[in-house]
Structures are given as C-alpha cells and as structure tokens.
Amino acid sequence: MANVETLVIDCLDKPTRDINNLIRQAADDGVPAVEILNTRARHNIGVGILKPIHLIYRGHVGYYTVGLCDGVTAEIHGSSGWGVGDNLLAGEVVVEGNAASSAAPSIRGGSIVVKGNAGPRAGIYLKSGDLTVGGDAGYMSGFMMQNGRMIVCGNAAKGLGDSMYQGQIWLGGKAEEMGSGVTEADAEPGELDAVLETLERHQIKAPKAFRKLQSDRSLWNFNKHDFAAWKDAL
Amino acid sequence: MCGVGGIFFKSAEHGQKTGEIAYRILDGIFRRGPDSTGVALWHANAAGLLYVGVNCETPGGGAMILEALDRLGTVEQATDGDGFVRAAIQYDGSEADLVDAIDALDPGISVGSVGRHLEVLKHMGGVANLDAAFDLKSYDGRLAMGLTRYATESRIDFTNAQPLTARATSDLAIVHNGHITNYHHLRASYALKGYEFSTQNDSEVIPIMLIDEMSNGASFEEALHISVEKLDGCFTYIAVTDDRFALVKDAYAAKPTVVAEDDDFVAMSSDPQSLREGVLSDIDVWEPGAGEVHVWQM
C-alpha cells in the first residue's frame, strides 16, 4: 500500500505520454510504488513499464491499462476498460471492479485478477500465466487460448474456450454453451488446491465445485472428415 | 470505428443541461469518428409541431427548402446549417407527401428525418461544428443520442451522416457503430417490398428492418431481437422512438459500449472515458454482452 516513498501522479491536465514517462522514470529510480489519481477511465495509463514497480490506480481505468509491461504489480480500485494487462510478461494486476472486453489478452506470464465480472473474450490468446475472474466471464472467453490457466468462479457465456490449443479453464458456474474443441478433464493432484489457494490469496469466495476444461485436440490438425466441426469453429 | 453515445433523463426536471452532456460525450468519441457528427433529440412537443431535417448537398439549397416547407405548412423555427436544414413546422398533411415534395426539389436535396417527438441534427466534422450550426448545448429536453462517424462504405456527406431514420415513418431514429455485411442482400429484399432507401449507408437498413418487423406485428423489442438474428456483421446500435430507446449489440460483442444508470439518468457511450467526462462523474459503468438488447421506457 501507499507509503512515504510512494510517488503520487495526478492525471488531471497531464498528457498520457507524460504520465507513462513519469512512471517509467520512477521505476528506473527504484521508487517502489506510484499512486495514480484522477484516472477517470483514461486509456493507456501505465503502459510499457519494464522494471518492477507497484502501481495503485485510484479510480476507473480505460483501455490497455498495464499493457506491454514486465514485472509490474498493480491494484486498480475501480473497473477497467478493454484489454487490461495486454501482453503482460510477468507481474500481477488486480482489478477490484469489473473488466470490459478482452481482459488479459495474449499475456505470456504473471497473473491478472478481476474480482468482479469480465466482459467478452476474457483471456483471449492467453499464452501463459493466470487469469482469475471472481464473477462471470463473457462471450468467447478463453478463445484460442494457447497455454496458462483461466479461473472463472461464476458463469461463462457462449463459446467458452473456443478453439483453445492448450492450457486449462477452471469453471465454477455454468457455461451457456461450450466452445468448439473443449472437453472436461480430470484434475491432476494438487491442481485444484493451487486454484483454491489463488482465490484465497485474493479473498475471492470459491464456488462449491470446479470443472477443469481443456482442449480435446480435435482442432489441432485439419481433417476433412471432420469438416462439420471446422465449419462450426469460428 | 464510429462512436455512439448519449444521455437520457428520467425526469423533465434535471440538474445538468442535456445538450451540454451530449456535447461532452460526443466530443469524447470524436477520435472514433471524425467525419461527421449527428444527434437525435427528443421533444415533448406540446405545440404539435413536426420536426423536419433535410439533407442539402446542393450549395445554397437551404432557401429553396425553407420556401417549400413554408408552402407545405407554416415554418415556426428553422436553421439553415449549410448542408442540413432543421425546421419545426405546423403541418397537418401526410408525412409521406411532405417527404416526396421535398425530395422532388433537387437531386441533392432529401429529407433525412421527420418526427413529432424526434428531431435529427447532423453536421460535418466534430460536435463543435454541430453546436455552432444548431446550438446543441442549449437543448435541455430528456434525450439526446448521437454518433460520431468514421465513414467506411458510403460518402462523407450530410445525406450519409447519422442518425438515420425510416423517413416518412416518423419517430424512429438509429445510430450505428459497425458494418452490416449482408446489407446489399437485405436492401434488395426490402426494396422489393417497396421500401425506399434514401442513402447509400449500410446502417439505413436497420430502421427499415425495424419498421418492417413492426408492421408485421412485432413489438419494438421483438423487432430489435429479430434484427440481432437477421443482421450480419458487427454492430452496436441505439434506436430511439417517441417513447422508448434501446441499445442493441451483435452476437459477437465486437463493438464497445458502456452504460451508466442512476436514479436520474441513463448514459451510454462507445468509450467509458467519454461517458464519465460527459456526466462529470466517476460513475460505475457496465458493458452489455453479446447479442443483448436493452430497452428503456421513457
């Protein structure tokens, strides 16, 4: 949390580029944390930060918050717009509210936690790392997921995990409709404990049970005899 | 891209001015659509006026339009916005006849909208131009929903600017962000049924489709659901009638829109920042999901 060493940046009247340069400079100077005020759903705040630093967003944020970052940790005291944590390499982002479309797109590592609901395409193209959603996930969440782990404590809309290659989706509620090429699998020893530990660490109430979903590999190779399945896959 | 957004007040008595909020919301989504800006306004219309908006691609055609309107009825208020004429007239005849009479004036002149409660205003460029021409900020009625246009498939001019209506059928206007990919097929089928298209804009098929479905017995809400099934492509559109308005999203949720609602108002915008700048509050917003239809009664 904020302490005396925290740099405070007020976004009012500051261009986005200046805000990001201030954060980058703070990271270079070894400042442990930056508190960001008056975010007012501004886009691209805290983008391209490649050195460890802790970001505290006081309010709602816009698109691509904590995008293209490495080793950054962040707490967002509000809701986020599209693409929160885009392409994160390592670190942790916690959204206290809801996240709009495409939360944690293409992340290659680290962890993104959305305590509320996530919009459509949450965890799209997840390459590694963790996406945890405390509430529901929208349409086509986990689309073309390539690796990593997605936890959805609530329900998922249509197309969950459509065309996923690898990785796991842990679903607490119901899926309105499963995506193409997704199947239910048995949990390996310790996997469920790790899921529950993640939820506990973020004080997210765990659902009664989880189902583990993964790719059935039917879309890995094209087979003309399975044309119907391909036609169905988006 | 394009941006859609606007504000609805639940009561005629409200704090901030409707036009000023709509101005800020549309200004906030200017970069999503710098080509033209338009807005649909709702009027209580105690005086029984007819609100007419006329596209005028012919330079200097405004005088001709106003003269014709005065011949058809009595012009109570009018502004020649140099490309788009707004007028409020006393008129008791058929709205279809009025549309035909104005359209016949010149090939560059066409009626954009007629309404007993809805008025459409359009201008090129950003909302500042719209305000300079028609004083949007002074509007203080209950609803203003608009669009900033990034033209893709049709000309950047007043005729193809939005909001779009089904013209002679008054009091239905839409603003649409997206692209209707089966537009040509749909347009051909509605043209065969006798519907007249006045623009080359793919979005025009939306009000025509809604009118057609409602004339087949569907309620407004049912027609909106049918449109989600029948329209291909990506879309978020706002439809406004004399007593309702709705937000409709395609089956893929491909276009962003956020909504904020409290005891006093419903605000929406393609961009959360524009919405919050519009209502001057860090209000919580939510994003409707894929294929969802949300209707509000005025």
Please tell me which residue of chain A has the smallest CA distance to B252: A139
- In this structure, the strands spanning A72-76 and A53-57 are parallel
Long-range contacts of A90-98 (CB under 8 A, 24+ apart): A91/A52, A91/A66, A93/A65, A93/A66, A94/A202, A97/A60, A97/B284, A98/A135, A98/B286, A98/B287
Measured at the alpha carbon of residue B68, what is the angle toward residues B242 and B137, in degrees to the nearest 5? Answer: 45
Could you say which residues from 241 to 260 on chain B have a Cβ atom under 8 Å away from some Cβ of chain A? 251-253, 256, 258
Measured at the alpha carbon of residue B37, what is the angle toward residues B32 and B38, in degrees to the nearest 5? Answer: 130
* Residue A149 structure tokens: 């782990």
- From the list B273, B276, B289, the residue facing A138 with the nearest CB is B289
Cβ separation A41–B276 shorter than 8 A: yes
Residue A2: predicted pLDDT: 47
What value does the mean pLDDT of chain B take? Answer: 96
Instruction: Indicate the Cα dihedral angle B107, B113, B116, B117, nearest 10°.
Output: -160
Percent residues over pLDDT 90 in chain B: 94
Residue A1: predicted pLDDT: 47
| CATH number at B45-116 | 3.30.70.240
Residues A72, A68: Cα–Cα separation, whole Å: 10
What value does the mean pLDDT of chain A take? Answer: 94
Query: Which segment of A86-90, A227-231, B94-98, B223-227 scores lowest on mean pLDDT?
Result: A227-231
Mean pLDDT, range A48-63, rounded to an integer = 97
Residues A75, A112: Cα–Cα separation, whole Å: 10
**Cβ atoms of B43 and B181 closer than 8 Å:** no
Conformational region of residue A40, where left means phi above 0, alpha means psi within -120 to 50, and beta covers everything else: left
pLDDT grade for A179, boundaries at 50, 70 and 90: very high
Please tell me which residue of chain B has the smallest CA distance to A38: B282
**Exposed (0-12), middle (13-18) or buried (19+): which is B137, by Cβ within 10 Å?**
middle
The distance from CA B75 to its chain's CA centroid, rounded to whole angstroms, is 22
The C-alpha R_g of chain A, in whole angstroms, comes to: 18
Conformational region of residue A35, where left means phi above 0, alpha means psi within -120 to 50, and beta covers everything else: beta
**Cβ atoms of A159 and A177 closer than 8 Å:** yes
For residue B234, which phi and psi values (nearest 5 degrees)? -115, 140
From first CA to last CA, the distance across chain A in angstroms is: 43
What does the pLDDT look like over A108-159, one tens digit per residue?
A: 999 999 999 999 999 999 999 999 999 999 999 999 999 999 999 999 999 9
The ipTM is 0.81
Residue A227: predicted pLDDT: 75
What does the pLDDT look like over B250-283, one tens digit per residue?
A: 999 999 999 999 999 999 999 999 999 999 998 9
Q: Is the pLDDT of residue B150 over 50?
A: yes
Mean pLDDT, range B209-217, rounded to an integer = 97
Q: Is the pLDDT of residue A233 over 70?
A: no
Mean pLDDT, range B143-172, rounded to an integer = 94
Identify any residues that bridge with A76 across adjacent strands, giving them in sequence order. A57, A95
Q: Is the pLDDT of residue A234 over 60?
A: no
Residue A122: predicted pLDDT: 97
Cβ separation B256–A60 shorter than 8 A: no
Residue A226: predicted pLDDT: 74
pLDDT grade for A232, boundaries at 50, 70 and 90: low
Residues A30, A23: Cα–Cα separation, whole Å: 11
pLDDT grade for A4, boundaries at 50, 70 and 90: low
Domain ranges of chain B: 3-40+143-297, 45-116
CATH architecture of B3-40+143-297: 4-Layer Sandwich (3.60)
Q: Which of B232, B270, B285, B292 to mutate to test the interface with A (most CBs of A within 10 A)?
A: B285
Percent residues over pLDDT 70 in chain B: 100
